[in-house]
Amino acid sequence: MKGPIYVLFAISTALVCLTSRADSPKALQWHGFVAQGLIDAQNSNFVDDHGDISLKLTEIGINGSYRLGSRFRVAGQAVYLNGGNRYPEGIRADYLFFDWKAVASLDWQVNVHAGRVKNYHWMYSATRDVPHTRPTIILPQSIYFDSFRDVALGVDGLAVVANTSNSWGDWEYYWSYGSSPISREQTSNLVGQRFTGDFKQKFVQQFNTVWQRSNVRLGIGILDSDFEYTQGADDSFVDGDVSIKRLLIQASYAASNWQIAGELFRERTAYTDILFPNFFDDATAEGGYIQGRYLYSSDLTFTARLSLYDQNRKDRDGRIREAATMGAIPAYFGFQDTFTLGLSWDPAPNWRTQLEFHRVKGTGRLAPVLIPNVEVNDQKYWNIWAAQLMYWF
Instruction: CB nearer to other proteins: give 75 or 360.
Output: 75
- Helix (H) or strand (E) holding 2, with range, is helix 2-17
Of the candidate residues 11, 33, 92, 228, the single one contacting other proteins (CB under 8 A): 33
Q: Is 165 in the site for other proteins (CB under 8 A)?
A: yes
Say how many C-beta atoms besides its own lie within 10 A of residue 387's C-beta.
15
The nearest distance, CB 378 to other proteins, in angstroms, is 38
Of the candidate residues 101, 268, 359, 380, the single one contacting other proteins (CB under 8 A): 101
> Is the preceding omega at residue 330 within 30 degrees of 0, hence cis?
no
Of the candidate residues 1, 16, 22, 348, the single one contacting other proteins (CB under 8 A): 22
C-alpha pair distances (Å), 160 with each of 128, 192, 234, 243, 379: 20, 36, 43, 24, 44
C-alpha to C-alpha distance for 230 and 237, rounded to whole angstroms: 9
Size of the site for other proteins (CB under 8 A): 45
Instruction: CB nearer to other proteins: give 212 or 236.
Output: 212
170: left (phi over 0), alpha (psi -120 to 50) or beta: beta
The nearest distance, CB 52 to other proteins, in angstroms, is 31
C-alpha to C-alpha distance for 379 and 195, rounded to whole angstroms: 27
Q: Which positions from 166 through 195 interact with other proteins, judged by CB under 8 A?
A: 170
Of the candidate residues 109, 183, 284, 383, the single one contacting other proteins (CB under 8 A): 109
Spacing of C-alpha 72 from chain mean position: 28
Q: Is 19 in the site for other proteins (CB under 8 A)?
A: no
Instruction: CB nearer to other proteins: give 50 or 71.
Output: 71
Instruction: CB nearer to other proteins: give 33 or 195.
Output: 33
The nearest distance, CB 120 to other proteins, in angstroms, is 7
Instruction: Annotate 248-297 with DSSP letters as a single string.
Output: EEEEEEE-SSEEEEEEEEEEEEEEEESSSTT-EEEEEEEEEEEEEEEESS
Instruction: CB nearer to other proteins: give 96 or 244.
Output: 96
Of the candidate residues 57, 78, 130, 143, the single one contacting other proteins (CB under 8 A): 130
C-alpha to C-alpha distance for 302 and 300, rounded to whole angstroms: 7
CA end-to-end span of the chain, whole Å?
Answer: 24
Cβ contacts of 317 within 8 Å, gap of 6 or more? 331, 334, 335
CB distance 267 to 243 below 8 Å:
no
Q: Which positions from 68 through 97 interact with other proteins, judged by CB under 8 A?
A: 70-71, 75-77, 95, 97
Per-residue interface string for the shown chain with other proteins, residues 256-275, x marking contact by CB under 8 A: x-------------------
The span of 65-73, 83-91, 177-185, 314-322 binding other proteins (CB under 8 A) equals 65-73
Q: Is 348 in the site for other proteins (CB under 8 A)?
A: no
Q: Is 350 in the site for other proteins (CB under 8 A)?
A: no
Cβ contacts of 98 within 8 Å, gap of 6 or more? 72, 73, 74, 113, 114, 115
Q: Is 133 in the site for other proteins (CB under 8 A)?
A: yes
229: left (phi over 0), alpha (psi -120 to 50) or beta: beta
Question: Which residues contribute to the site for other proteins (CB under 8 A)?
Answer: 22-25, 29, 31, 33, 63, 65, 67, 70-71, 75-77, 95, 97, 99, 101, 104-107, 109, 111, 113, 117-118, 120, 126-127, 130, 132-133, 161, 163, 165, 170, 214-215, 254-256, 295, 298
